[in-house]
Amino acid sequence: MEPGVPFALLGAVVLLAVAAWVGLGVVALARSSAGRGPAVLLAVGGLVLATVEVLTATGFGRPRSDLLPTARAAGLLLLAAGLYAGALARRMRREPVLDARGAAVVVPLASAPLPAVLAAAAALAAVVASLRARRDPPGLLLAAGLLLAGVAAGLGPVADDAPGSLVVVGLRGASALLLLGALLVLARSSLLGKVVSAVLAGVLVMAVAAVGVVGTVVADGAVREQDRLVADAALGRQQLIAETRSNLQGALPLVAGACRLAPTACAPTINAFSGPGTATFALQVPRSGTPVDLGGRAALTAGEQVALAGSKLVVLALAGGPGRVSEQTGVASVVRLVGPTPGLALVAALPAPRPTPQAPASSVFLYGIRLNDSFVSRDSSDAGFGLSLLVGGQVVASNATGRARERLARIAADAGVGDGISADGLAVSATGDDPSVSFRTLTALTGEPVGVIALSRSAEASLSAQRDALRSLLLTAVLATAVVGGLALVLGRRTVEPVRRLTAAAERVAAGDLSVTTGLTGRDEVGTLSRSFDAMTGSVSRLTGDLRASAVRLETVLSSMTDGLVAADANGVVTSVNRAALAMAGLVEGVALGRPLAEVVDLRAGGVPLVPVVTDADVAADVHRPDGTTVPVRVAVAALEGGDGVVLVLRDTTREREVERMKTDFLSNVSHELRTPLTPIRGYAEILVGKPGLDSDKVTRFATTIRDESIEMNRVVDLLVDVAAIEAGRVTITPRPIAPAELVDARLAAWRTRAPARASDLRRRVAARLPLVEVDPAWLGKALDELIDNAVKYTAPGTAVTLTAALSPDGDRVRVGVRDAGPGIAQADQAGLFLSFEQVDGSATRRVGGLGLGLSFVRRLADDAGLPVTVTSAVGKGSEFSLDLPLAPVTSAVRRTRRPQRTSPPT
């Protein structure tokens, strides 16, 4: 189907596109500094594309064109060449370059695949060249506009229907708007561009409005006239069928009488009455029994005969009594024929003579004409009208071709036409190459709708006049826009030239040349401004030195501050910020200035935002960073003098909070760990003192408990002393060669003595023929003790705790570790394992006690000794903590830390 698009939309898109392509070429010629060659290519390409747009919009009545997409591809290739050449010249010269950056009508929007692909490829090349030329906002808008133009060109093969054509026109309109947007962004840097853009914008708005309003009025007027003619013709055809029904009823007594006298001559008689080519039939329907076919050119099928015998028309003719059908005149009606293929017929019914006036007729004589293609084809089509009959939305008779029938059925379905519509009919206006159609209902004798008359007329009949009017209107609007744009450019140059010279002088002043003068001596406003400008440069020259020195000093002070400083104006917009404040807020330089204070520094106290509510305060708060982390700060807020803004001073209190947390955790854990062994020690000691006569077994058991708990308390104290020694740098690491098996066996022996109840759970797995390692056995033993203690605490009795020793995966160290089958550690909790006073379960009701220093001690000792620590754990699958020990060299040496040392503790 040919694409039909609203003329108002088409005219607006064409005017915008022509303005965009021509403006692109003009800007390239006027402002390019990369040579005239690239500018000429851009200008010619823009002119070619503008011409293609005009030819496309004025090619009314043609749905397809392969030449126009080919020409569009050529224009886009010229644009691509100009943009690429401009970018290359800019890189060679190292110079900044300004490269160019209602009613429906049928127009040639569709094309064959090959021209569409060529145009799309050319547009893609232009997009790439545009991005190579520049990637600032004008360049990106230009690339986006060219990309949409390429997409529209590539959709040519699917633009042969109304939805596809609307998509193509919409894409071209969006492309034109993006291109004009690029030109407007460029015009912001030029007074001449602003003047010309303002004038052209006004002209374009008026032209688009004129084309849309006038064009729509012209097109709508033609469409309404077409609809009126078709509606009048449809009413005439409805009346013609009614007249044919009356004629059929008038001939009925003669035909029935002839058929009764000579039944064998019935068929020739009805054919003679109806005329040549008419699909006639005759039927005798008894009150009971099978209908008898009396002949005719279009005999009814058995099913149609049975259905017709039971119709309301026959029932009415057979009935007797008041209101019965006369035997002299009969009755006629439009009837729907029910059978494998639905159809319509004009049927006249004449009852047989009745024995009494009140008695029903014994039979009915039916004389009918099928309303088929032959019947409707007798309708004259000299005026371009098509006559069709529909039943249930299906075309059952028409003087149109097969494709026209399908189109009519689709139009009827879209309009919701079934077996009947309102008495006034329904009109569907022409769209694209769809005809104008008027629908009217065909009713039976009882008033029941049985079908629909559809009279259509080709859209071509009403398009020729509006095509000429619309073409002239569109061309006039394009020429008027071009003329006004040229005049605006010429007059604008003369107006803005003095301003341009003044601007050039101001740019030199901005570059540091304060001795420049404008040279303008006119008496108008520009001349006065020029003299004031010359006087101003002298004053600025004297003040510049002092301002620069002050600014340097202030910048140095702000950058050197360890506290964060943020200043905002009365509107809450950040005007100054130092590096310390940016680091606390998690931002980089250049993104804070000019933004609202609440967006730059997200300060909250107890979850409640402080900015911009808080004023003249000194409170503790948290800075919430964009990455979700927080920084604790002490914030002081003070208003600037005069109420012109506020200043925030932020002091990072992270270290203070960490020290406070560690102190609190230390006191809590130490008090808990010391109180646990002291309680049984004191209790059993009081029993021993208060009851001297206890039997020896109890005395031994109480003394043993006191000894074991004192050993545990001593271990806690030793751990605190060791951690303090490491923190103070008083640890001496004295490595010596030792066998890994010896290290493992020594720890197993010590722990089987320390924890006899778990002796059977302690296992060893040591690889054979391991090389010697060079470590300090005493301090390494302490680290392994903490790992074993951790494993024993977190595993139930009967669960294995294994000491392992094997070569590391890279083979240059021996990996010694402790493996357990405990509950395991979630991945999210592993990051805090080695922090001081941290435990996976840090609650007061935790099942396993401890200071939370064991793993921290292992980590610090391993870092001092240069022993990498590895953790492997999964929830429900146990954990393994390992230390990678260095191999012993041929000779061993003592390695010490850089700080004052303390002697190694005993094994």
Q: Is the pLDDT of residue 897 over 60?
A: no
Q: Taking the CB of residue 589, how many other CB atoms lie within 10 A of it?
A: 10
Please give the pLDDT value at position 34.
44
What is the pLDDT, as a whole number, of residue 836? Answer: 54
* Residue 81 and residue 46 in contact, taking contact as beta carbons nearer than 8 Å: no
Q: Which helix (H) or strand (E) covers residue 835, if one does?
A: none
Nearest to 739 by CA among 757, 764, 756: 764
- Give the integer Cα–Cα distance in Å for 62 and 108: 5
pLDDT for residue 557:
72
Instruction: Give whole-number Cα distances, 594 to 136, 555, 574, in Å.
Output: 21, 18, 5
* In the predicted structure, residue 907 carries a pLDDT above the cut 60: no
Q: CA-to-CA distance for 376 and 543, rounded, in angstroms?
A: 98
**pLDDT at residue 828 in the model:** 67
Residue 22: band (very low, low, confident or very high) from pLDDT cuts 50, 70, 90: confident
Q: Is residue 904 within 8 Å of 779, Cβ to Cβ?
A: yes
Question: Residue 847: exposed, middle, or buried by beta-carbon count in 10 A (0-12, 13-18, 19+)?
Answer: exposed
Give residue 1's pLDDT: 35
pLDDT band for position 844 (cuts 50, 70, 90): very low
Instruction: Tell me the average pLDDT across 754-759.
Output: 84
pLDDT for 252 equals 82
Q: Of all residues in the chain, what percent carry a pLDDT higher than 90?
A: 3
Look-up: residue for tokens 């290359």?
A: 88
* Confidence grade of residue 33 (pLDDT, cut at 50, 70, 90): very low
Strand-pairing partners, residue 623, are 603, 631
Q: Is the pLDDT of residue 380 over 70?
A: no
**Average confidence (pLDDT) over 797-813:** 89
Contact 603, 622 (CB under 8 A): yes
pLDDT bin (cut points 50, 70, 90) of residue 597 is confident
Least confident of 95-99, 319-323, 390-394, 425-429: 95-99
Among 338, 346, 307, 329, smallest CA distance to 443 is for 346
Residues whose CB is less than 8 angstroms from the CB of residue 2 and which lie 6 or more positions away in sequence, other chains included: 63, 106, 160, 432, 433
| Among 660, 655, 671, 656, residue whose Cα is nearest residue 851 | 671
> Is pLDDT of 136 > 90?
no
Q: Are strands 762-766 and 801-807 parallel, antiparallel or unpaired?
A: parallel
């450019």: which residue's tokens?
Answer: 489
- Helix (H), strand (E) at residue 472: helix 460-510
Who wins on pLDDT, 816 or 362? Answer: 816
Mean pLDDT score, 862-886: 84
**What mean pLDDT do residues 783-809 have?**
86
Distance CA 171, CA 158 (A): 13
148-164 pLDDT tens trace: 877 877 777 776 666 77
pLDDT reported for residue 838? 53
Q: What is the dihedral of CA 801, 805, 808, 812, to 10 degrees?
A: 160
What is the tens place of the pLDDT at every residue in 557-596? 776 677 888 888 878 888 888 888 887 878 777 777 888 8
C-alpha span between 7 and 520 (Å, rounded): 51
**pLDDT: is 773 or 104 the higher one?**
773
CA 113 from centroid of its chain's CA atoms: 29
d(CA 695, CA 843): 41
CB atoms within 10 A of CB 298: 16
d(CA 151, CA 18): 18
Whether 576 and 594 have beta carbons less than 8 Å apart is answered as no
Total number of residues shown for the chain: 907
pLDDT digits (tens, 9 = 90+) for 431-475: 766 788 888 888 888 788 888 888 888 766 666 666 666 667 777
| Residue 878 confidence (pLDDT) above 80 | yes
Q: Is the pLDDT of residue 772 over 90?
A: yes
Distances (CA, A) of 162 to 4, 158, 716: 5, 10, 86
Average pLDDT over residues 9-25: 74
Give residue 45's identity as a one-letter amino acid code. G
Q: Which of 301, 361, 371 is nearest to 336 (CA)?
A: 371
| Number of neighbours of residue 166 by Cβ within 10 angstroms | 18
CA atoms of 545 and 64, how far apart (whole Å): 70
- Token pair recorded at residue 270: 């009805």
Phi, psi of 370, deg, nearest 5: -70, 135
**Greater model confidence, 659 or 212:** 212
Average per-residue pLDDT for the chain: 75
80-89, 268-277, 309-318, 875-884, range with the lowest pLDDT: 80-89
Euclidean distance between CA atoms 130 and 141, whole angstroms: 10
Residue 219 or residue 852, greater confidence: 219
Q: Is the pLDDT reported for residue 647 higher than 90?
A: no
**Mind listing the pLDDT tens digit for each residue in 498-534?**
777 777 777 777 777 777 777 767 677 777 777 777 7
pLDDT digits (tens, 9 = 90+) for 678-709: 677 767 677 777 777 777 777 777 777 777 66
Please confirm whether the linkage preceding 612 is cis (ω < 30° from 0).
yes
Q: How confident is the model at residue 739 (pLDDT cuts 50, 70, 90)?
A: very high
Q: Which residues, in sequence order, are CB contacts of 709 under 8 Å at separation 6+?
A: 677, 678, 680, 681
